[in-house]
Amino acid sequence: MISPFIRHTGQLWRVVLGWTLIAAGLATIYGCLNGWFGKQSDETFAVLVISANVVNVAAFVWMIRTVKCPRCQLRLFWYALSAKEHPTGLG
């Protein structure tokens, strides 16, 4: 669920773009492992999987760094992951 605060502050596009990039990276990895892209050399396979992982990590870090409270600059995505307890967060 996306917080109404994120929508109100105009940052929804950051969250949507970040999760879309992560989904694309995961789909690429899954596709490589299940032959969606046909037969490929070991080098091509490695480049695709490593590139997809780089995209996933970059999107995750980008969301951590850019989804902020406009007033106090608290990194909201990081706060949601690290400070909240289960089941609403990962902390």
User: 21-77: per-residue pLDDT in tens?
Assistant: 999 999 999 998 888 878 888 898 899 999 999 999 999 999 999 999 889 999 988
- The neighbour count for residue 24, using CB atoms within 10 Å, is 14
**What confidence category does residue 9 fall into, taking pLDDT thresholds of 50, 70 and 90?**
confident
- Give the CA distances from residue 76 to residues 3, 57, 85, in Å, rounded to whole numbers and listed in that order: 10, 18, 15
Asked whether residue 66 is domain-assigned, the answer is yes
Looking at the DSSP bridge assignments, the partners of residue 75 are 68
Number of separate domains in the chain: 1
Structure tokens at 16: 């949507």
**What confidence category does residue 89 fall into, taking pLDDT thresholds of 50, 70 and 90?**
low
Nearest to 2, CA basis, from 67, 91, 75: 67
Domain that holds residue 77: 11-82
pTM attached to this predicted model: 0.79
Asked whether residue 18 is domain-assigned, the answer is yes
* Cα–Cα distance, 20 to 55 (Å, whole number): 11
Asked whether residue 91 is domain-assigned, the answer is no
